[in-house]
Amino acid sequence: MSVEKQSELYSGKAKTVYKTDDPARLILHFRDDTSAFDGQKIEQFSRKGEINNKFNAFIMEKLAAAGIPTHFERLLSAQESLVKHLEMFPVECVVRNISTGSLCRRLGVQEGLDLEPPVFEFFLKNDALHDPMINEYHICTFGWASMEQVERMKEYTFKINDILKSLFLGAGLLLVDYKLEFGDYQGQVVLGDEFTLDGCRLWDVETREKLDKDRFRQGLGGVVEAYEEVARRLGTPL
Ligand code: CDP
């Protein structure tokens, strides 16, 4: 079934979203841009858009096969995918299995601790406010989502943790932390946005080498090479 790309709906830091002739479907275009520190550091990496598009498709299909409702429908081209048009909740769901990043900065805890149980955090999607941390009461009180939707987001986020931790461990990778976004599709909570190496941290299980966007944040180099290495280990078709 063919789908016609129409006007741009929204352009984010690494993806542009287009309307289609079907109001219930959108096209995601994964660009080569990478940004960090609230968009203060931006760089283009050739092939990154294509790698992220294909990696996201691979992960979304694994999650769907394990019973998680996702917006992903199919790959359209090297850098584009067709997705369901969700009404996004303006919140980010973060799960942490190992301490690092903002958790350590905020709470002064040591880096690299195994977190058991894993830590769950909500953040408000608001660049001007630098995505402040919030809890379920803020979400319900301000109408960003209902308590039932909050519970569903937590349930799916933890289920995804079990699925992906074991998928990555099988490829010699530790899933350190990750961020997910959900939306409403015809009354159901559905996983939206993306799961790529831009939004998670993956470390080599033996050496703890960083194989994710921290290579860009920290100026370590080899960003695209690391993304390709992860895809290769998982058998993601690129
Ligand atoms: O990146 P930073 O250390 O500031 O934030 P974090 O809270 O430690 O990030 C936790 C996880 O969520 C990391 O895997 C980030 O890549 C991801 N994240 C994201 O993808 N987008 C955000 N706006 C915030 C976090």
Among 13, 15, 99, 102, name the best residue to mutate to test ligand 1's pocket (greatest count of ligand atoms within 8 A of Cβ): 102
22, pLDDT greater than 80: yes
**What are the respective helix, strand and coil percentages of the chain, to the nearest 5?**
30, 35, 35
Give the rounded percent of residues in the chain with a pLDDT score beyond 70. 100
Which residue's CA is the nearest one to ligand 1's atom 4? 102
**pLDDT recorded at residue 23:** 98
Cα-based angle 106, 112, 113 (whole degrees, multiple of 5): 85
Rounded distance from Cα 208 to ligand 1 centre (Å): 18
Q: What is the pLDDT of residues 172-191, one digit of tens each?
A: 999 999 999 999 999 999 99
Rounded distance from Cα 74 to ligand 1 centre (Å): 26
2, pLDDT greater than 90: no
Q: What is the pLDDT of residues 142-154, one digit of tens each?
A: 999 999 999 999 9
Pairing of strands 91-98, 173-180: antiparallel
Torsion of CA 93, 9, 25, 230, to 10 degrees: -50
Q: What is the pLDDT of residues 43-91, one digit of tens each?
A: 999 999 999 999 999 999 999 999 999 999 999 999 999 999 999 999 9
Q: Are 8 and 16 a contacting pair, CB within 8 Å? A: yes
104, pLDDT greater than 90: yes
Question: Which ligand 1 atom minimizes the distance to the CA of 177?
Answer: 14
Give 121's pLDDT tier (boundaries 50, 70, 90): very high
3, pLDDT greater than 90: yes
- CA distances 101 to 75, 105, 224, 225, Å, are 32, 7, 21, 22
pTM: 0.97
| Beta-carbon count within 10 A of 204 CB | 17
DSSP string, 140-162: HHTTSS-HHHHHHHHHHHHHHHH
Burial 170-179 (b: 16+ CB within 10 A, else e): ebbbbbbbbb
**pLDDT recorded at residue 193:** 98
Q: Which residues pair with 188 in a beta bridge?
A: 185
Whether 230 is in the pocket of ligand 1, judged by its Cβ within 6 Å, is no
**pLDDT recorded at residue 213:** 98
Give the pLDDT mean for 219-232.
98
| Structural domains for the chain | 5-84 (3.30.200.20), 87-222 (3.30.470.20)
Rounded distance from Cα 75 to ligand 1 centre (Å): 26
Question: Which ligand 1 atom minimizes the distance to the CA of 100?
Answer: 8
Rounded distance from Cα 41 to ligand 1 centre (Å): 15
108, pLDDT greater than 90: yes
**pLDDT recorded at residue 1:** 73
State the burial class of residue 102 (Cβ atoms within 10 Å of its Cβ: 0-12, 13-18, 19+).
middle
